[in-house]
Each structure stands twice: as structure tokens, then as C-alpha cells.
Structure 1
Amino acid sequence: MHKLLFGTAGIPLSCDGNTSDGVKHVRVLGLDAMELEFVHSVNISEKTAPLVKKAADDNSVVLTCHAPYYINLNAQDSAKMKASIQRLITAARVAWSCSAWGVAFHPGFYMKKSKEETYKIIKENIRTVVETLKQEGNDIWIRPEITGKRSQFGDFEEIVRLSQELEHVLPCIDYGHMHAREGKFNRTEEFRLVLEKIEKTLGKESLDNMHIQIAGIEYTEAGERRHINLEDSDLNFLDLIESWKDFNIKGVVISESPNIEGDALMLKRLYKNVE
């Protein structure tokens, strides 16, 4: 990626049309990216995927994808495990046919297993997904996401470790989730440590290939409760933006706030104005 791009999680609220219309509207708004929202189902057909791809290509909009929420790569039931693997593969296939660059997903839950046992199971299931897609010539980035609840697998260290140990896997850094999960990751030095860790562990080129999600998060001791707009949250997004500028990161920032395009445009403007 040649610079840091900003976009919306799904079709902008100000667009009444379909996915292709949403992609075009992103460019009208002055944004650069859009996340395909497969969170409840993969809602783009083989027939419409080429139309989405054309809209993205014609308008120079980078697409990402969020796979279904109904994925648990640590499921106790083998049928649920296989279904979870298949949901991720299906999302990646359809997203790739739309020209999407990466697919973010919540890897699973601990399910009363130890963190290390859960890690090993999820790692092998992601490996299966990567190898299946590779055999098909599908080069989409697999992006396990930092999750917002402590019962969910996916703290910062776990996601970076997966990315270090698996081919064609890099983190989806969700700053709101990181903050809500631990009550930390909200100071300048913490933002810098995140990027320093990524650079040291995954290589400087990973800072040119960042997949970021951001929203304000209302949270409890257990972690994430719901998404809120950035200005209504306690997330220190001004210092966060400065850390992006300091490290000259490149990639995609997806706004997942309720006011998706409003926060995306605000972030893009603030980033541009940082000295």
C-alpha cells in the first residue's frame, strides 16, 4: 500500500443503494476504502461480485471484508468447527472475487480451555484456511482481529504471534477493542509500543500493510459492550493518529463507529493535518 487510506465499515449511511453504489459513494465522499460487511452472512453473489469489483476498480477504492461473526475456530463440536472454517473460506473467496485486499475475522472463544491450548487449535485451523485458499490461487490477506471481550481469543500478543508463525497472515488491529479488552492501550507510549512490536516481530514491511479498525467503545470490566462514535468515547484518538504519522504507516483504516462516514472523514482530516 502506498499510503494510509480511510474508509467505512459497509455501505455509507448517506447511500441508499446496493454494495456497488456504496463503493461509488465512498469516492464521492472523498474516502478511499470500504469494508464488505459479511458479519451476518456472505451477501454478495457470484453474479454481483464482478459489479462490485468494477466499481472498486473504476473509483480507486480499496476493499476489505469482515467475515461472519458466527466463527469459532475453537468450537468444541466438530461440526461447528468445520462450519466455522468453511464460513471463513467462503467469505475469503467472495471477497477475493470482489478484489478485496484482506479479510478480518474474530477467531473464536477460549471455551474453558487454556490460552495455549486454544492458541494451538486456532492456529491449525487458520493454517487450513490459508492452505485451501493458496491452492485456489486466492492471495487475500487473512487478518485475525484483536477482539474486545476477555472471553474471546485474540489479545494483541496472540494475534501478533499468529501472524509471526503463519504464512500470509497479518493482524487486524482494532484499537477500540484493544482498549476495551484491557482498559489499556490509550496513551501515546502504548500506541507507539504497538507499532514498535509489529515492526520488530513482523518486519518493517508490515507497517506498510496495516489493516486497522477503529470505533469508540462503551465497555465494562468484561470488555466491549457496544460501539459508539469516537467523540463520545474515551479513546485517545488524537494521540493515536499522531503515532500513525510518526511511524509513517500505510494500509487501510476502517471506521466502525455508528456514524461510519462521519468518523472516517474526521480521521482522514485529522491525519492530513498532523504536522
Structure 2
Amino acid sequence: MRFGIHLSVAGGPMRAAVEAKALGLECLQIFSGTPRTWKQKPLKKADAQAFARATDQAGLDPVAVHAPYLINLAAGDHALWRRSYQALAAQLKRAAALGATAVVVHPGSRGRRELAWGLDRAAEGARRALEAAGPGAALWLENTAGGGGHLGGDLGQLAGLLERLEGLAVGAVIDTAHAFAAGYALDGYERARAFVDLLDAELGLERVRMWHLNDSDFPQGGLRDRHTHLGRGLLGEGCFAALVEDKRLVGMGGVMETPKDTRWADRRNLAFLRRLRRRAGTRP
């Protein structure tokens, strides 16, 4: 796997590019603006171009932009749904300007509406966003912790969304902590290996474009999304050793969204994965 971290762009996107190079990352994820508001500060063309050059020169692949959390592609309220796919289209355009590969987005919540309705609604929202944005960045749908009508907790739901978007620039992102929260067993080496087998059978590994490598503070099936440092949560070292050693995942991006509770936190989590990769001999 190619290891990366979700880095801050506070102060401008070049901050993340410079930090990624200093850390020796191989892939990268950022927000293109503020993740918890609709209004996004305009990207300066010069800043975006400098970021694109810097990440290309550093060999970062993929570079992903995570969409703001307010976007709900499965919203029942028409005004919110329309605002969501328009905001997603704007994120796709921002990602293209930054030279990013894709935008990562959660499929959204259908509330109490039927599952089929929710899948159709989210797929149509994604389709409209891609059409409005035009060619450039792809759209990657991330699995979720499930619960509360949220789509994507079940791998079959992700597969259904991608089938509805066949022929468009789409893929999947698999978050280990989200999968565990949604009820999938990844704790330990053997269970994590079995999860990859299940993922291949239900979704297809060829559809997975990136992983989010996060340990979890909450038990399997708890529907709670709480990330912790790698090897220190309930997934444990065995989970990440299995993923790093799996030759089917060689060359795939693995981005950490782990806590930044000390100045050394990112370096510690990165060193953890690098040690596992050296031991496995699976460097991409």
C-alpha cells in the first residue's frame, strides 16, 4: 500500500503539500476548504496550481479531496438535496483545479425512506454533480458506520450505488473504522483477511480506489464513528498487518485520519505502517 495522511490546509493548500513531502508520504487527502460550512473560500488560481505542481513532483498518488460533511446526496428535502449535489459539483471543480484525483463523499442519509429510494436518490445526486462539474476529478463514495438511515454501511449498498453510476468516473473508499462500526469483523489478522475476501465478493476490489486506515475506539456493530491511533484500538495491529501484507492491495492508497492529539501523532502512525510494510516486504 501507499501510505498517506489527511492533512490540514489551514493557511493554504501548499501547507499540506509541503508537510506531505517532509513526512515522505506517498498519497494525500485534504479538505479543499472548511468541512463544516456550505460557504467555501474561493481557491486562488496561483495557489491551486502551486499545490498541483508540488504534489505531482512529490509523487503523491492519489491526491484526494474529502467533501464537506453537510452534503447529503440522499436527502428527502428537495432544497437540501439540490444544495448538496451543487456543493459536490463545486468540490469536484475545486479538486480538478488542485490537480487532485478525486473527491471522497459519504453517500448520505435517506432518513426513514425506503432503501431503494435512498440508493436511487443518492445515485441521481452523484450523477448530477458529475455532469455539472464536467471532466476532471472522479467521485469516490465512502462506506459509513451506518445507522440513522445512512447509506453505505453495508457493502451491498455501495455496490448498488456504483452499479447505478456505471460508466461514470466513480469508485469506492473503504474506511476500516467505519466497516467495523457497521458490523464487519476486522479485529485481528485473520478477520481482516476475511473482510478483504468479502469485500472482493460483494463489491469487487477493482472498484476500491483508496482505503482509510483508522483504528476504532468503539466495538463492532456499535454504529459509532470514533477513530483512534493505529494498533491502539479494537482493530489492533493484526488488522493493519493483514491489509499491508495483502498483495491484492499493493499500490493502493491508504490514508490515515487518526487523531492529531500530539505533535508526533502523524509520525507515530506512519512509522507503525511502515514497520508493518518492511516486515511484509510489500513496498509498492
Q: Within 5 Å, which residues of 2 pair with 1:66-145?
A: 66-133=66-133, 136-138=134-136, 140-145=137-142
Residue 248 of structure 1 and its aligned partner are, at CA, apart by: 3.1
Residue 44 of structure 1 and its aligned partner are, at CA, apart by: 6.0
Distance 1:216 1:19 in 2: 27
Question: Given residue 266 of structure 1, which amino acid in structure 2 is its aligned partner?
Answer: F
Residue 273 of structure 1 and its aligned partner are, at CA, apart by: 1.9
Q: Does the CA contact (< 8 Å) of 1:216 and 1:227 recur in 2? A: yes
Question: Given residue 29 of structure 2, which amino acid in structure 1 is its aligned partner?
Answer: E
> CA RMSD of the aligned region, Å?
2.6
Match of 2:5 among 3, 8, 12: 8
Q: Within 5 Å, which residues of 2 pair with 1:15-30?
A: 18-30=12-24
Match of 2:152 among 154, 177, 195: 154
Distance 2:205 2:270 in 1: 26
Partner-residue secondary structure (3-state), 1:6: strand
Distance 1:99 1:269 in 2: 30
Residue 64 of structure 1 and its aligned partner are, at CA, apart by: 0.9
**TM-score, normalised relative to structure 2:** 0.82
Residue 196 of structure 1 and its aligned partner are, at CA, apart by: 3.4
Partner-residue secondary structure (3-state), 1:212: strand
Residue 94 of structure 1 and its aligned partner are, at CA, apart by: 0.6
Partner-residue secondary structure (3-state), 2:224: strand
Q: Please give the per-residue CA displacement for 1:81-110, whole angstroms capped at 9, x wherever unaligned.
A: 111101111111111111111211111113
Distance 1:37 1:175 in 2: 20
Q: Please give the per-residue CA displacement for 1:38-67, whole angstroms capped at 9, x wherever unaligned.
A: 423545613321121121122222311100
Matching residue of 1:181: 182
Q: Within 5 Å, which residues of 2 pair with 1:200-219?
A: 200=201, 205-206=206-207, 210-219=209-218
Q: Please give the per-residue CA displacement for 1:170-190, whole angstroms capped at 9, x wherever unaligned.
A: 111001111012263335454
Q: Please give the per-residue CA displacement for 1:12-52, whole angstroms capped at 9, x wherever unaligned.
A: 9xxx9642132122122222122112423545613321121
Distance 1:126 1:273 in 2: 40
Distance 2:161 2:194 in 1: 18
Give the strand-richer structure, 1 or 2: 1
Match of 2:268 among 255, 262, 273: 262
Relative contact order: is structure 1 or structure 2 higher (C-alpha 8 Å, sep ≥ 6)? 1
Q: Does the CA contact (< 8 Å) of 1:147 and 1:178 recur in 2? A: yes
CA 1:124 to 1:193, structure 2 compared with 1: closer, same or farther past 3 Å? farther
CA 1:268 to 1:163, structure 2 compared with 1: closer, same or farther past 3 Å? farther
Distance 2:178 2:66 in 1: 15
**TM-score, normalised relative to structure 1:** 0.84
Distance 1:241 1:43 in 2: 40
Matching residue of 2:262: none
Q: Does the CA contact (< 8 Å) of 1:8 and 1:261 recur in 2? A: no
Distance 1:230 1:244 in 2: 13
Q: Within 5 Å, which residues of 2 pair with 1:44-55?
A: 45-47=43-45, 48-55=47-54
